Structure 1
């Protein structure tokens, strides 16, 4: 039954692309521009540098310094601490990619990875400050403390409430400390380019879906259309919300809460990164939904 539904969906998708080539091309171009102008320059350098750092076990050094604070706060290992900060700084899906690699290398347990992925696999500060904040409307421009609470408060609250009390807090095994992976720079660059290209495919696919959604659902209330586009893909959704005639408060609540949800596109990008690691995507989705709901409450409290 599942295969039948998937086949029917794909057949309908192909027919729509054939019948509406202009929508398909416009969506593809928009997705390609988003990937080339935003994702590629903001993520690929981090992928290469972090893989270089990982190949020399430099990430373990970061964890040693962070553990006294984050290890005790979230009950996570030293390697979990460094992955947490790297994921927050470099953005989705770098946190998921690192966790997946460490699980497959038996350096982090699946239990700890499933806990951490909802906290560290956030949109990057560069994206948030450069794209989201520029679209915040009118008198609701955010002070830095409000920005930090609205963007990272839901994730940290999730971590405190659901923190793992049975995590192995050892730093690394002796084998891990004493050996590097010995990956060459060429191998690291090729691996990073492969990962970023896969993400580009997802972005283009969801951008096309967004074009069709906007075309076929243009008669529905503007609030529902903006919400639907944001749930599907956050960047195009944010642009649509910012350019709409909605009340400024509603615009900001939509943009901030949907950013905490991250969108179906980011969820699929994350799924792509954690495939074959055993990390549950459903637990990640539950974590995103929790942060989405909490961010709405934070918005109503801080913006009203």
Structure 2
């Protein structure tokens, strides 16, 4: 009985996709002016925000893969990542980059780990579920300062967003627990640095590229990835515009109003959630402008950032298309992420506010914060991260010099 239903569903999906594409094409022809403006907004967002924020991290990540630093971290951090998240130690690199630079870099790095057989399919699916985040620059700068005009809300939004994703990492460690796992390292802790160094040297030997070729490939590959991301951002900016003109956003808003009723959401924020289904930036902007109490704005923004939008889902699908990683667990994780973050952001503004204030700095959440103090507060974190990346890069270059004696 199931086979005919399955065949019908497989036939309906391409048909509906084709209809949607035809409608989009007709809308572009019939409404060229608003579609052009929407595409221009998407391109500006990509060029002014995405490229400066992600390009350095993309290049660094490619260098780390080529220099064997991922293998170094994989061995060194195996005792931490395996018990907590049930993934190999190499997942720590994906986690660090995903939590500091935002989506879709975690999908790119996870795909590369899968292609190099450093993680199994299930481990890759676990890893991608809890390392996809909004950029800290987006949450602390664009949302808290630019949209909400209140920098003190940044730690609450970021804390809820990251905290919910870390909880998902622990939760998803039980996903596919009966599936085969990559061989865990079972060696004394004192031998980890020596084994990590050996793993990095072996990875560089297998790579075999000169430093000049490695740099060129890193820059080229990073720009190709960013062009793909820019295409998705522009496309979904147009889709949101067309959906709004055709009344689709209003229909989605009515449906989301029922789903968000337990969270206290009103029609004013349901429209923002409808836009956030497609694209995160526009959704959070509409939520910040909704004439509702601040708590409801933060709830809607947290849901949208946790879900990330169909634009990010499309980017992740494109980045993992050459692997056997499935997107079902990832989509489920994004839904859970949105609702968990919405709950936690209210927790951080209420009972857990003193704890968050202690973690982010003395009196940071209870006193007015200027642009200068905000910059000083996060400069220490930024410099620490930059110093760590620089140290690891120098370590990889030293290993290459030791191995080859010349460039």
Q: CA separation in 2, counterparts of 1:65 and 1:118?
A: 22
Q: CA separation in 2, counterparts of 1:22 and 1:222?
A: 27
Give the structure 1 partner of residue 46 of structure 2: 35
Q: CA separation in 2, counterparts of 1:129 and 1:216?
A: 34
Report the CA distance between 1:135 and its aligned residue.
5.2
Aligned length: 303
Q: Does 2:203 match 1:203?
A: no
- 2:294 is aligned, of 225, 228, 248, to 248
- 2:91 is aligned, of 66, 69, 80, to 80
Q: CA separation in 2, counterparts of 1:57 and 1:173?
A: 4
Query: Any idea what SS the aligned residue of 2:323 has?
Result: coil
Judged with a 3 Å threshold, the aligned counterparts in structure 2 of structure 1 residues 303 and 139 are, in CA distance, closer, same or farther, namely farther
Q: CA separation in 1, counterparts of 2:328 and 2:91?
A: 20
Q: CA separation in 2, counterparts of 1:79 and 1:60?
A: 6
Judged with a 3 Å threshold, the aligned counterparts in structure 2 of structure 1 residues 252 and 105 are, in CA distance, closer, same or farther, namely same
Judged with a 3 Å threshold, the aligned counterparts in structure 2 of structure 1 residues 46 and 140 are, in CA distance, closer, same or farther, namely closer
Report the CA distance between 1:129 and its aligned residue.
1.6
Give the structure 2 partner of residue 259 of structure 1: 305
Whether the aligned pair in 2 keeps the contact of 1:136 and 1:252 (CA below 8 Å) is no
Whether the aligned pair in 1 keeps the contact of 2:78 and 2:88 (CA below 8 Å) is yes
Judged with a 3 Å threshold, the aligned counterparts in structure 2 of structure 1 residues 248 and 285 are, in CA distance, closer, same or farther, namely same
- 2:133 is aligned, of 119, 122, 135, to 122
TM-score (norm 2): 0.68
Q: Which of the pair has more CA radius of gyration?
A: 2
In the TM superposition, 1:154-193 aligns within 5 A as 154-164=164-174, 167-168=181-182, 169-170=184-185, 176=203, 178-180=205-207, 182=209, 183-193=213-223
- 1:236 is aligned, of 266, 279, 282, to 282
Give the structure 2 partner of residue 296 of structure 1: 342
C-alpha distance after superposition, 1:7-63 (max 9, x if no partner): 222111111111111121011000000110111111112111210121110122334
Whether the aligned pair in 1 keeps the contact of 2:136 and 2:158 (CA below 8 Å) is no
Could you list the runs of 5+ residues in structure 1 that have no partner in the other structure? none
TM-score (norm 1): 0.90
More contact order relative to length (CA 8 Å, sep ≥ 6): 1
Query: Any idea what SS the aligned residue of 1:157 has?
Result: helix
Could you list the runs of 5+ residues in structure 2 that have no partner in the other structure? 1-10, 186-195, 254-266, 351-407
Q: CA separation in 1, counterparts of 2:326 and 2:41?
A: 31
Give the structure 2 partner of residue 150 of structure 1: 160
Query: Any idea what SS the aligned residue of 2:47 has?
Result: helix
Q: RMSD value over aligned CA atoms?
A: 2.5
